[in-house]
Amino acid sequence: TGNVSQIIISDANSLFISMILGFHKLESAFSAVFTNPAVVDKSGKICVSFFHENQTCDLCPVNLCKGRVLSEFLAKHKFEKIVYVGGAKST
């Protein structure tokens, strides 16, 4: 047994993920969330920005490369085991 770190890497947006985590009271279950920043502007419009501005990976959407995010995260943190849960791009 040991410490477990859970992160979210999603091409959704920060408002959506914050609402879901808050609704289910899971904010403290994750040590980091990597997603597209989003804010509500003065007129009430949701404005979403790209997490990565120049993403060129063919496997990921233009706004965020999950492999790049995970690689950069793992370069800063050392783990005994890694478990990835998520979907893969369908062809």
pTM summary value: 0.84
The residue-averaged pLDDT of 1-6 equals 75
Give percent of the chain above pLDDT 90. Answer: 59
Residue 1 forms beta bridges with which residues? Answer: none
Predicted confidence (pLDDT) at residue 1 exceeds the cutoff of 70: no
Q: Is-contact 11 35, C-beta < 8 A?
A: yes
Per-residue pLDDT at 2: 60
Q: What is the pLDDT of residues 27-80, one digit of tens each?
A: 999 999 999 999 999 999 999 999 988 778 888 888 899 889 999 999 999 888
